[in-house]
Amino acid sequence: MHADEVDIDEALVGRLVAAQFPQWAGLPLTKVRSAGTDNAMYRLGTDLTVRLPRIPGAAGDVEKESRWLPRLAPHLPLTVPVPLGQGVPGEGFPFPWAVYRWLDGDNLFDEPLAEQHEAAAVLGGFITALRRIDATDAPPSYRGGPVLTRDDEVRTAIRGLGADGAVDADAATAAWEGVLRLPQWEGAPVWLHGDLLPGNLLAREGRLSAVIDFGVAGVGDPACDMMAAWTLFSAGAREVFRESARVDDATWARGRGWALCFGLTAEYHYRVTNPVLASVARRAVAEALADLSTVV
């Protein structure tokens, strides 16, 4: 999926664990099937998981999660990953890596929600709780700045998808130009997850149970956490999510802009290499454009 990906396999992970965490050496390793783009995951025994960056851009996520997840977790209403050990480069692997407690559940690509309205209320409450946590000294989020900084990427995606007949280029361009005119965030930076896609949400028996992958987390404009409204929820559940997330009209509109931005750029980039993620992106575009068509 990326030109700068490193090769990761079970043998490498086994060597890393044996060399740096001998107490867990010899436990069975199983690759975790995932549509994630930046990290590889392996289940280690029954209670642990190993997470390894695939690309240089994700290497800093290990230290960030190890530092901040223990501070965030006590304030959040859903389970989040628990770091147990931070590994260092070795055995030919060039990046830091980490061992976490295994979290039971299936991601929402694989486990449909039993009731969207309940999940919408829970996820909105999670975002509200995260936003209230003290942001002193917190790192900026990759998606915490203005969505308008993605203008070149979005227009490139529109041209490419339009040429393939995958999107109505005129409609997408008009919608995107409307996003660029939105009022921007003027408040103090707040905590946000930044990547609340179905693959980063876990469910047990159809009920939302955990939020994973805080690699994009940090502080900034909370609008990008509204993306879940268009990548995950139906129109009715979307309103429940909005009420629970407690955001103003401008933040909601910027969130829809983020959904459009993510949808266009992710479908364009991953339509061949990651069809699962591309399908989520396609839904985000369709839902955002449909929603915008009803806005007077």
pLDDT tens for the chain, residues 1 to 296: 566 789 999 999 999 999 999 999 999 999 998 767 789 999 999 999 999 999 888 899 999 999 999 999 999 999 999 999 999 999 999 999 999 999 999 999 888 888 999 999 999 999 999 999 999 999 999 999 999 999 999 999 999 999 999 999 999 999 999 999 999 999 999 999 999 999 999 999 999 999 999 999 999 999 999 999 999 999 999 999 999 999 999 999 999 999 999 999 999 999 999 999 999 999 999 999 999 877 64
Question: For 269-275, which contacts have Cβ atoms below 8 Å and span 24 or more sequence positions?
Answer: 269/157, 270/1, 270/37, 271/166, 273/1, 274/1, 274/35, 274/37
Beta pairing partners, 48 = 44, 101
Q: Where are the beta strands (DSSP E) in 67-162?
A: 83-87, 97-101, 106-107
Q: What is the pLDDT of residue 296?
A: 47
Q: Output the six-digit token pair for 76.
A: 């959040």
Cα angle: 174, vertex 180, 181; to 5 degrees: 95
Give the integer Cα–Cα distance in Å for 294 and 56. Answer: 42
Distances (CA, A) of 281 to 12, 61, 140, 264: 32, 23, 24, 7
SS3 59: coil
Four-CA torsion 154, 37, 59, 6, nearest 10 degrees: -120
Helices 151-163, 249-270: inter-axial angle, 10-degree rounding: 50
Quick one: how many helices (H) and strands (E) in the chain?
9, 10
Backbone angles phi, psi at 59, to 5 degrees: -65, -35
The percentage of residues in the chain with a pLDDT greater than 90, rounded to a whole number, is 89
Q: What is the pLDDT of residue 3?
A: 67
129-141: pLDDT as tens digits: 999 999 999 999 9
H-run or E-run covering 207: strand 207-211
- What is the pTM (predicted TM-score) of this model? 0.94
Q: What is the pLDDT of residue 2?
A: 66
Give the integer Cα–Cα distance in Å for 70 and 256. Answer: 31
Helices 116-132, 235-245: inter-axial angle, 10-degree rounding: 30
